Structure 1
Amino acid sequence: MKLSSKIHRFLLILVCIIGLNQLAQADEFDYVRVSEALFPESRTWLNIGRAPTLPASQFQQVKNKLKQSYLAAISTSDPFEGQDCSFIQRSLEPSEIKSFYLLDIDHDGIVDIVYIGSAQCAEGGATVIWYGTQNGFAVRSPAVFPLRLLRVSSDGGRALSVSEGCCGDPVDKYHTGSLSNLRDGDTIPFLHDTVLPRSSLDRSFHFVARREVKLRLAPKINDQYDQGLSEFLNRAAFGNVLRSYLKNSKGVALASVVEYGQKWYFVVMAAESNALASHDPYLGVRAGWLLASEVNVLGHHERL
């Protein structure tokens, strides 16, 4: 075979491998990327998924201690532990080793171990934090958070997490909180198919709706009745409309884009404006796109 033919064949194989890898990556929903769009300030926080994972040799050494400290922290009626399924038993299987991360999550100078992976005995994800101590590990209550921890602030004081939609639900909920309570801050429901902005505004700002507005999953207008989606949701659905709001609804603009000569804002509508939602097919989704011409700017915004 000629050298040029060998090179051509090699390049073809390489392109195929790269393509398959990209498809595999596309199949895995990027929760961190969504959280960055909803909470741009969190981009400087520690991404837990990039922390080193527990080496196999160390995993074997500490897994019994992890189990003991976990069991000491749960109640006898814990929903993650039962006769038919044990969360801790399944999560400590060798196949789950890549779900255990090593980091000093609370910044006390002692390395902690964080499990972020399948809830094992339930739908969705789960997080368990084993805090390192001078005498081993300690698990605080609640032992299992039924969501995935995504980011932690540089001082360990704030956290970002996501609870995945159950049973095929396309809506996830993103939370801000603390390590003791991952959901004691803001909660933003988000539809999977929503188009994310490529970048954020230098400074986000508050706005108020000048008229009745439609929050959309993409920066374009589509109001056509969708019979198939309406039957799936058991509620009327129109085009790319996520939610409709009455005049004077409020929110925060986080990004902007110009499409076909129209300027759009990627926004998070205020929870206080839920009472002004006039059409709500996805039951609470409040992040998406609004036409810039439909809102009045009120002032800049500080979050988290």
Structure 2
Amino acid sequence: MHRAAVHEVLLTGWARTAGDRYMIGAQWPRDHSFYRPLPTGAHDPLLLLETVRQAGLLVAHVGAGVAVGHHFVMHSIGYDVDARLLRLGREPADLTIDVTCQVRGRRPTGAVRLGIRVLFSRDGEVLGSGTGEMTCLPEALYRNLRARSLPGEAVGETADLPPVEPRRVNRSREQDVVLSPGADPSTWLVRVDRGHPVLFDHPLDHVPGMLVFEATRQALAYTGRGLLPLGCHAELTRYVELDPPAAVVLRPGPGDPVFDLEQGGKTTGTVSWFMSPDGGWRVPNPR
């Protein structure tokens, strides 16, 4: 699962059910040091993205023949759920995940592009779906590609940026705030604390995707538009580097919020949050 800490692994077991389909077990704890329950009595929605991410890693290794040690480049990830999937109960939430993994391409270099589609079930009822697309790169290829974009000088510690007020982003501890005020009310800077025990579970040469999603989710909370998004879709076009600080920018306009990530004069990704399903959540065809 590309985690150093055992307690950060959400998946509990797996089995292949068809050529490219897998059944995976997962469990969400009733509380977590970072993915804290919401005041409304719901699990943190970012657990959905982390579960999709871990499911993608698992099926890549056990199903698509990707060697452990390869690096994963995430292109897109998202979910769409019924609120009952996130209900906080008196016991940990046990989930069953039906995953379809499709190999989109293999290169002579060893790179593999994969797409996954996920159905989440809780208490025997399908209550959510997720998608993800990624490219898996061998170590040598990854290092060669990263050498072109890594900064030549020492990387600064952007955790030194002043945080926004924790309560504005539904946080109780300043160390968990990943936003700093920006140049205007619709722009924030991303604070990167490479010592954070969850977001940087192990050393990385870039900002991890889960920190990127948390930054936009905190921006969503800051705008006062709600804490329980029932849908999310993220498109990532390049890594967010550790330095200089990236910006989270809220697009103007009504409707569900869309945030762009900008760094060095370029857009590195877009994250859209959906506060309610349009017309109610529908079970999609897993194929």
User: After TM superposition, is the score higher than 0.5?
Assistant: no
**Greater C-alpha Rg:** 1
- What range describes the TM-score normalised by the shorter chain of this pair? under 0.3
- TM-score (norm: length of structure 2): 0.25
